[in-house]
Copies of this chain bind each other. A is one copy, B any other.
Amino acid sequence: MEPTKIILDENDLPKDWYNINADLPSPLPPPLNPGTGKPLGPQDLAPIFPMELIKQEMSLERHIKIPEEVREVYRLWRPSPLYRAFRLEKALKTKAKIYYKWEGVSPAGSHKPNTAIAQAYYNMKEGVSRLATETGAGQWGSALSFAANLFGLKCTVYMVKVSYEQKPYRRIMMETWGAEVFPSPTNKTNSGRAILKQDPKCPGSLGIAISEAVEDAATHEDTKYSLGSVLNHVLMHQTVIGIEAKKQLEMVGEYPDVVMGCVGGGSNFAGISFPFLHDKLKGDKKDLRAVAVEPTACPTLTRGIYAYDFGDTAQLTPLVKMYTLGHTFIPDTIHAGGLRYHGAAPQLCLLAKEKVIEAKAYNQIECFKAAELFARTEGFIVAPETSHVIKAVIDEARGCKEEKTILFNNSGHGNFDMASYDAFHQGKLVDYICPDSKIKESLKCLPKVG
């Protein structure tokens, strides 16, 4: 009998990450300095990132070795289990076989520590003693707090003030791992002080928090900045998910017809899909489909345009070529906070542009319905972000005329998101389908390049 969980031995934990830069169908357009319009060099990033991560960001090597010390920490929860969703299949009366990788087993409860651990390690190796980062509701901040602590680094988290006040539990989690967490805007940075001067009651935003964290890193010798998605090296660190999944599927003689994941910045989708996309791009799996799932309230891949834009609202980052709704785009307040990003990872966007991957968008109410069905069949209550891929998987399985193997990334648990399930049960959720006019207006902000 096929097992419910396909478990990989710790000795089979991947020894390398997979770098899709080696296999992209066309060269990745380089990030540009917004002042000069010229491609960025390593030296531009050196004030805020350690050199090894900058090298990884620009590397064209297909395989990059995972340091033993990183693998040692991964062992706390990796290899993560691959589940066969027998009960969900039965409820759907589908001919599809549904497999999911369960990343909720990590101490922080999501896939985020896969890169947080690696980033903390390289910073520690290069003598950095403190990491600064931003966080919205706290998923990324808690992953980095956990990771920094294990490598003896201090960690400073700028948490969007409204979340800091309304959602204290992730903040407490970060503090339990020893991080210091500040409600942003703070009076600790020039950017924070400037905003507070204008509006002492400013509730903060992810853009402001990024500015504060980057400034903190740039102005302190011992401190670097850390980012939880979008960048090449972040996506690469997440490929342990897909590499493990591939081995696990091999153990039961399977290979997916479709690989799916939800997309905010793109790291969890990249993590599960890139190692399979290698086989599509360079091997014999030409028919493999990979589907990125996003919210209709923030339809970057499905309705954005492919252009150079700023990664952040405050225009602090380099210009990157990606699908974007414009850096001034403010998505409606859906519960899947981690999917509210105006752009997406450049690697992912290039693959979408080249039609290597597909994209779909869903409304939040149908996603919560899907997540509830999942909870009532498979048991696990997932994060609102993850509910989007579950909805897409259910549609894919229901539409199945013949046997098909679906693999998706169950990226995290919903233990800190129960209030959103309550709103769903009580019929208080609203669907926000972004109007064309809003996108059109927002796209006016795109910078002129080249």
Contact = CB atoms under 8 A, between A and B. Distances in A.
A418 B4 contact: no
Task: Please provide the 10 A-B residue pairs with the shortest distance between their CB atoms, ordered closest to farther.
Answer: A107-B379, A4-B75, A415-B415, A169-B418, A172-B418, A3-B10, A172-B422, A76-B379, A107-B380, A176-B375
Interface in A137-177: 146, 149-150, 168-169, 172-173, 175-177
Interface in A1-48: 3-5, 7, 9-11
Given A3-B11, A107-B380, 4 more contacts: A146-B379, A172-B422, A176-B381, A415-B416
Contact of A415 (B109, B149, B421): B109
A105 interface: yes
A178 interface: yes
A81 to B, nearest CB: 9
Contact of A173 (B7, B376, B418): B418
Contacts of A107: 375, 379-381
Interface string A319-347: 00000000000000000000000000000
Given A176-B381, A381-B176, A425-B172, A4 B76 contact: yes
A39 to B, nearest CB: 39
B422 A168 contact: yes
A372 B176 contact: yes
Interface string A112-147: 000000000000000000000000000000000010
A378 interface: yes
Nearest to A7: B7
Interface string A351-392: 000000000000000000000100110111100000000000
